[in-house]
Structure 1
Amino acid sequence: MNKKHIVLSSAMAGLLVFSATPTTFAHDMLDDALVEKGQEGSQALNEVPVLEGTKNVGNWKEVGSAQLKQYDGVQNNTADVYAYDGYAYVGTHTRNGGEGGVRIFDLKDPSNPVEIAKFADDIPGTWQEKVIVKKVNTEEFKGDLAVVSVQQLDREAPESKGGFLLYDVSNPESPEKLGFWEMDKRVPGTHELYLTVKEGKPFVLAANPYADYYTHGKEKDFALVDVSDPSAPETIYEFDPRTLPEVDEDFNGYHWDSPDGKTRPVFNHSTMTDNNGDTALLSFWDLGTIILDISDPYNVKFEGRTDYAPDVQGSAHSAALAKGGNVLIETREVYNPTREGYEESYGYTRIFDIKDKQNPQLLSTFKTELVDDVEDGVTFANTVHDPKVHGNTLYLSHYAGGIRAVDITDPSNPEQVGVYNPAGGYFWGTFVDRNYVLGSDMNQGLKVLQKNNSNK
């Protein structure tokens, strides 16, 4: 057994201790040992730093880098990254026991990101992956509102609980806690989330994997929550897969007997909206990307979903929109490329025309050179992870494959135009901020890259 397989076995063993989840999304198996694989340089891509490109990212370069601060001698690792009003907000993963909270970096000088605050670390035994910040102006709250996902490391731990936290970050150097949307103790928590503001009212879209399964339908994997009063968040809608004609009423909250004859995993992994907050995208693993009309948040309507050929693993992980909301980017986190009955491939990106949201049309797929390298069996390094779109450029975080820039001027013909892949890197997320691209490196912290053209 080579070193790569030894590392993965350690990660999977850790998962079994974590919970009795019927299966898992790959994040849960990214423990300390697996992340260290990037530091060993065992991936050929990481032996030499790569920073190259053509077209609009021809002058892409790293201008800044900052590791997360240690607290009480503990070094946490990054999860996702978000930028707002000159600051970067970096979530944390589970390394060294989690509880890393969200870190705020001042980006006034992008070449020297400075960590100025830590918050959302007050619930024991949890980790804080995702943070979204937006300006809110309601009767109950006026200011910059941050929402933070909270997930339990061990659901048996007495003091831990999952859901999402709400903070006032109007003064980024001194965040103030406003409220907590708490889930049933049996549910790991909120994995990814999004914050949208419609006609002045803020709403959180929460992806809560396995909620349906663990609560026997009492709570659902997707919740739409009115947070006009952040101290008293109110759930106003939940999506139930049983409302779809292709899902039987006896669906047990996880295993789906799909029309192609396979039993597929179904859970909500991520969610987001278009710029207007009219359309919600729910990444529902093998049920595809669910498209909801939330133009009236109190009267949500199902519009359509993506689907898969019988030999394609679903694994709808995250989504992004392009071309004014008419094009859907769907990333698929496939980390086991040799499942019986499916194509041999790691996760790659699919691009859809969704002008008719009731009938998404597949325009193209985008694959890196990594996805067909299946000889080592199971690894996270080769699958795509998170997408972000800025103009006609799609940015993809790719774990040990770095950050990829893809020209989608013609969505039916995506073309890779840039790669950023420093030695030892292991990228969870990426975010476009002004003329900069941010990357959350699970090994090395926050990375700041400069583009040569802010309009692309």
Structure 2
Amino acid sequence: MRMRRPRTLVRLVLTTGLVASLATAAAGASAADPAPETGATKSDNITHLASVPMTGPLAGSVNTDIAFAGKKAYVGNYNGFQIYDIANPAKPTLISQVHCPGSQNDVSVYAGLLFLSTDSSRSDSSCQSVPQSATIKESWEGIKIFDVRDPANPKYIAAVETHCGSHTHTLVPDKRGKSVYVYNSSYFPRDTFPDCLPPGDKIDIVKVPLKEPAKAAVVASPVLFPDGGFPGSPTGTATSGCHDITAFPSKNIAAAACMGDGVLLDISKPEAPKVIDRVQDAANFAFWHGATFNGNGTKVVFQDELGGGGGAECTPEVGPNKGATAIFDIKKRKLVFQSYYKIARHQLDTENCVAHNGSLIPVPGRDIVVQAWYQGGFSVWDFTDSKRPKEIGFFDRPAIEPESFGGYWSVYYYNGAIYGTESVKAFDVFKIKDRRTDLANLVKLKELNVQTQPALWR
């Protein structure tokens, strides 16, 4: 999502202490029955299991990304984050909420730690901070770190400032198991931002010692675009940073979606990633937004967030190749374009709709993803044949009236269920029952950060 505002960053700030959380006693904190689906359209293989409305200090804001560990789901929100018990996917229960404003608040979870991206310029690193102009050098943006081993009582333990804030981040575990690296992505530098000056051609890498996370710090800021990257076009955004990076650690590779460029990285040395290959698509891609590998790291799909997430890009006028997902085979460490995929259900010109966050459905021998399309709902599609992707399931609620932003931000598969953040409404759960995806039920993960993909098969 590309909802931008002024931003900046300064020095490393460490904050320790208990962050107040709100228990599930709040009204509407759990859902025993699905929300009404009046007017929704869906395929027969999709069942809507549950919908938990936003409550407390997070209500009225925007739900963002999702991470999973064990039987818990961690949901980001522009006002903080929330933790759900998903032991019974049909009855998710809110465990706690943390009020800690700072867009987008994308989340990842690893070894009892939760990482939160702050990409709005704040007065300081605390959860009590207020917005402050990015033109003020002392303003703060970056990565916040919480101890969530007790999900009912998360503790804020550290903060690390990064260049240009933190729009999204990606975890790359140290192979020795002693640390985790956080690849930080952000963009849109300005001459008036003292800590976020152009050209914005680098990423920040934060190293977090697992036994002493309060010592987390930026250890490298490698330049990915020494030549400046994509210069921009009438329809495409010039590269001035990366929006999102997806790692495939077992193969020491990562796919970076960097505004005007799609990039394949070698991450065998986590503090010194190197560009292996780079592709551009001036004809059809406006904004390289995110990436998803297949189960063995031989393919990757990139999403184009045409219109920044707020545009109506699923209309006949826009067509099937813009605001879509592009499929690439990885051959001899090169990205080889195969085809585009986009939902065929045209949305109204009042509905924000474009390719957005999705995840692999782990079906052995197949390449299947579930993907969000904002007010276009979500789709389940198969790209086993890279040149002929096809949809095998979908869910689409009616347009929001009166016209406003909304729809599914992230939709991910985890251990037998599909979880989605309906941006301005709820945390939703679905089930897919289909012979083409049923084998995914046999794959059980201990945790899932979608931007850190495990190898599921060779």
Which category describes the TM-score, using the shorter chain as reference length? Answer: 0.7 to 0.9
Q: Deviations over 1:372-424 (max 9, x none)?
A: x7x94xx6623111121122321110000101100122222110011112345
Per the alignment, residue 455 of structure 1 pairs with 439
Mapped partners of 1:195, 1:79: distance in 2 = 17
**Does structure 2 retain, via aligned residues, the 8 Å contact 1:220–1:238?**
no
Deviation at 1:150, TM superposition (A): 0.9
Question: Identity rate of aligned residues, in percent?
Answer: 19
Residues 430 and 437 in structure 1, CA contact (< 8 A), matched pair in contact too = yes
Identify which of 203, 218, 224 aligns with 1:222: 203
Q: Which residue of 2 aligns with 1:134?
A: 110
Q: Does residue 1:156 correspond to 2:142, yes or no?
A: no
Question: Residue 245 of structure 2: which of 268, 271, 275 is its match?
Answer: 271
| Partner amino acid, structure 1, of 2:238 | P
Contact 2:64 2:105 in 1 (8 A): yes
Pairwise CA distance, 1:212: 7.7
Match of residue 398 from structure 1: 373
Q: CA deviation at 1:47?
A: 7.3
What RMSD over aligned residues (CA atoms) do the two structures have, in Å? Answer: 3.2
8 A contact 2:73–2:86 mirrored in 1: yes
Q: Which amino acid aligns with 2:66?
A: V
Per-residue CA shift, 1:200-222, capped at 9, x if unaligned?
A: 13111111212486433597552
Structure 1 pair 262/128, CA: closer, same or farther in 2 (3 Å)? closer
Counterpart contact for 2:144–2:160, Cα < 8 Å: yes
Q: Which residue, out of 52, 59, 64, partners 1:79?
A: 64
Q: Using the alignment, how far apart are the partners of 1:65 and 1:409 within structure 2?
A: 31
Given candidates 250, 256, 264, the residue that maps to 1:291 is 264
- Matched residues in 2 for 1:448 and 1:384: separation? 20
Which is richer in helix?
1
Matched, 1:347 2:326: no
User: In structure 1, which of residues 176, 188, 194 is the aligned counterpart of residue 170 of structure 2?
Assistant: 194
Matches within 5 A, 1:171-210: 171-183=150-162, 187=164, 189-199=165-175, 200=177, 201-210=179-188
Match of 1:89? Answer: 74
The whole-number CA distance in structure 2 between the counterparts of 1:454 and 1:196 is 30
Q: In the TM superposition, what is the alpha-carbon distance from 1:233 to its structure 2 partner?
A: 1.8
Answer whether contact 2:7 2:119 (CA < 8 A) is retained: no
Please report the TM-score for the alignment, with normalisation by the length of structure 2.
0.73
Q: Give the letter for the 2:428 counterpart.
A: K
Equivalent residues of 1:384, 1:396 under 8 A apart: yes
Residue correspondences, number? 372
Partner of 2:411: 430
Q: Secondary structure at the match of 1:325?
A: coil
Q: Give the CA deviation at 1:276.
A: 2.5
Deviation per CA, 1:295-341, whole angstroms, max 9, x where unpaired?
A: 11233222112221x42233110101004011001000012689xxx
What is the CA–CA distance in structure 2 between the aligned matches of 1:150 and 1:222, rounded to whole Å? Answer: 15
Match of 1:51 among 39, 42, 66: 42
| Residues 316 and 155 of structure 1, relative CA distance in 2, 3 Å threshold | farther
- Cα distance in structure 2, aligned partners of 1:417 and 1:126: 37
TM superposition shift of 1:75:
3.0
Which of 282, 288, 309 lines up with 1:316 in the alignment? 288
For 1:441, the aligned partner's letter is E
The residue number in structure 2 matching 1:139 is: none
Deviations 1:228-247 (A, max 9, x none): 1421223233232442xxx3
Match of 2:273 in 1: 300
Change (3 A) 1:49 1:361: same
Per the alignment, residue 386 of structure 1 pairs with 357
Report the secondary structure of 2:306's partner residue.
coil
The residue aligned with 1:147 is 115
Q: Quick one: distance in 1 between partners of 2:397 and 2:419? A: 14
Unmatched segments (≥5 aa) in structure 1: 1-11, 22-45, 94-99, 136-143
| Contact 1:211 1:221 (C-alpha < 8 Å) held by counterparts | no
Structure-2 change in CA distance of 1:79 and 1:363 (3 Å):
same
What's the counterpart of residue 441 of structure 1?
422
Instruction: Write the letter of the residue equivalent to 2:80.
Output: G
For 1:46-91, what per-residue CA distance to the aligned partner results, in whole angstroms no more than 9, with x for missing partners? 97212215xxxx3x211111012223x9533311122221111111
- Distance in 1 (CA, whole Å) between partners of 2:424 and 2:271 is 42
Q: Could you tell me whether the CA contact under 8 Å between 2:295 and 2:360 is conserved in 1?
A: no
Q: 8 Å contact 2:207–2:216 — kept in the other structure?
A: yes
Q: For the structure 1 residues 414 and 443, does the alpha-carbon distance in structure 2 shift closer, same or farther, using more than 3 Å as the test?
A: same
Displacement of 1:128: 4.0
Residue 261 of structure 1: how far off its partner (Å): 9.7
Question: What residue is the counterpart of 2:145 in the other structure?
Answer: 166
CA distance in 2, matches of 1:129, 1:20: 14
Tell me if the contact between 1:271 and 1:283 (Cα under 8 Å) persists in the aligned partners.
yes
Kept in 1: contact 2:371–2:412 (CA 8 A) = no
| 8 Å Cα contact 1:79/1:428 also seen in 2 | yes
Task: Please say if residues 396 and 404 of structure 1, whose CA atoms lie closer than 8 Å, have aligned partners that are also in contact.
Answer: yes
Q: C-alpha deviations, 1:360-382, integer Å up to 9, x for none?
A: 101111021257x7x94xx6623
2:385 pairs, out of 396, 410, 414, with: 410
Counterparts in 2 of 1:451 and 1:74: CA distance versus 1, 3 Å: closer
Q: C-alpha separation between the residues in 1 aligned to 2:190 and 2:361?
A: 34
Task: Give me the whole-angstrom Cα distance separating, in 2, the residues matched to 1:320 and 1:262.
Answer: 24
Distance 2:303 2:236 in 1: 21
Of residues 118, 127, 151 in structure 1, which corresponds to 2:97?
A: 118
Aligned to 2:56: 70
Residue 411 of structure 2: SS of its match in structure 1? Answer: strand
Closer, same or farther: CA 150–369 of 1 in aligned 2, 3 Å: same
In structure 1, the partner of 2:13 is none
